Amino acid sequence: MSNPVVIDVQDLGIFYRLQQRRRVGIKSLLVGGGLRREAPLLWALRGVSFQCHEGQILGIIGSNGAGKSTLCLALSKILTPDEGKVKVRGEVSTLLSLGAGFNRDLSGRENIYLNAAFLGLSRRGIEAKMDEIIEFSELGEFIDQPIRFYSSGMKSRLGFSVAAALDPEILILDEVLSVGDHAFQKKSRKRLQGMMDRSRVIVLVSHQVQFLRDLCTHCLWLEQGQLHGFGKADEVLAAYVAASEEVDAADAGA
């Protein structure tokens, strides 16, 4: 018997309205013609369906603008679908970008309280895990300096350290492990593998094929808001790499 379904996405569609600047004549304003035209729609995702079962690590890959971050927002219940349904069974902790939820004028330590509270951890729970978070982040004396002095890699380390300390049922990470030195990335991968014993599902967004191949059990490939592949990580990533090489070859021959 297969493990229970944790994430169930059916015919998901999400659009954004494009704002267009255009000159409107006085006549159009008077008769109302310049006000009736609706802004065009851009479908960030459409017709996307898949399921994730307990115990899986799902990688999401695709070119820029493919809809990866929009899908993460939908799974995190930050965005409401315009079409279809998204069902997520369990508590979700999300780190969608470097320094998400951080206040640049507060210290790293103060931002741990802020970010952890944003992710659903109580103050008592934060205090119990504070030393662990700081030690894992490897920020040393910088932990009491304002975030505005942090590099992108330092913000990434701090953000991941907070998220990793939560032991969430479902963890969603959007490109937060692509920044930082090799040693920290290696340590983060080891932590993710350990978290899988306690988490039901982990979702990772990355452009790094080898990173996803090393960690993920399954992969989802998006292009222009549509599903191009979903299944075992090795198979989907192999198809993605082959397609990318074809595009590169075509560009080189143009």
pLDDT tens-digit series, residues 182-220: 788 788 878 877 777 778 899 999 988 998 998 899 999
Give the model confidence (pLDDT) of 72-124 as tens digits: 999 998 899 999 999 999 888 777 665 566 899 999 999 999 888 777 778 88
Instruction: Order the strands of the 56-61 sheet from edge to edge.
Output: 92-95, 170-174, 201-205, 56-61, 218-223, 226-232
Largest distance between two CA atoms of the chain = 68
Q: What pLDDT is attached to residue 248? A: 79
5-253 fold = Rossmann fold (3.40.50)
Q: Which residue matches tokens 């907070």?
A: 162
Q: Which of 95-104, 165-174, 234-243 has the lowest mean pLDDT?
A: 95-104
Averaged pLDDT, 137-154: 91
* Residue 82 pLDDT: 97
User: What per-residue confidence (pLDDT) applies to 50?
Assistant: 98
Q: Residue 71 CA to chain centroid, in angstroms?
A: 8
pLDDT confidence of residue 2:
76
**Cα distance between residue 161 and residue 98, in whole Å:** 12
The stretch 116-140 carries a mean pLDDT of: 87
Using CA atoms, how far residue 30 sits from 27, 38, 62, 71, 190, in Å, is 5, 18, 46, 42, 65
Considering just the CA atoms, what is the radius of gyration of the chain in Å?
Answer: 21
This prediction's pTM: 0.79
